[in-house]
Amino acid sequence: MAMHRSGIRKQSAVGVSAVTGAAAALYNITVGRTAIIKRIMWQNNCAANSNLSLGQGLAGAFAAVLPPIVTLNGLDGELNEWDIPNVEIQYTAALPAITFESTVAGIIVTIEVEEIG
């Protein structure tokens, strides 16, 4: 039997995005594990259209792991695992979290991840 590579499902707290250049932690990856984003749920509460980015690194050190998501003013939305590339994000001491930012601050976001390891 092939060894499964299934992980365990975890979720972030509800975060409110900061503006580009001020990325903050959304989900802290468990030490020694990797995480794959399986679901993203958001509401644009910015009073303007805004691009949401998920990645690693805080503030100016942010590097996106997915293309930006265009979120429309006043609307909610979600992406499920079949829409999201299987990007596996590794915990390191320097990059311990999945972080997020948006072109206009104020998108309310939760993600669900699958951790492996």
Partner 1 sequence: MAERLYAAKAGPIDPFALVNENVAIWMKAMWHLYRVMFVEQMPRSQAMVFDQGALAALGNTGDVRLINLDQQTTPPGLIQLRCSPLDDIQVEVKLGRAESRFTAANISARVDRFTEISDPDLHTTEFVVLQDNSVWVNCTNPTAYATAMSRIAFFGFRYTLEDLQTAKKTPAEVKAVVNNVVFVPSGSD
Please report how close the Cβ of residue 65 comes to partner 1 at its closest, in angstroms. 19
Cα 85 to Cα 39, 44, 56, 94: the distances in Å are 11, 23, 16, 24
Distance CA 23, CA 4 (A): 34
Q: Nearest approach, Cβ of 7 to partner 1 (angstroms)?
A: 8
Per CB under 8 A, 117 contacts partner 1 = yes
Tally Cβ neighbours within 10 Å of residue 48: 13
- Asked if 31 interacts with partner 1 (CB under 8 A), we say yes
Q: What is the DSSP letter of 74?
A: T
The 37-76 site mask, x for binding partner 1 (CB under 8 A), equals: ----------------------------------------
Q: Which amino acid is at 6?
A: S
Unique residue bearing structure tokens 């976001």: 109
Residue 93 is a binding residue for partner 1 (CB under 8 A): no
Q: Which is nearer to partner 1, 3 or 21 (CB)?
A: 3
- Closest distance of CB 49 from partner 1, Å: 32
Euclidean distance between CA atoms 108 and 91, whole angstroms: 24
Contacts with partner 1 by CB under 8 A lie at: 3-4, 6-8, 10, 28-33, 96-97, 117
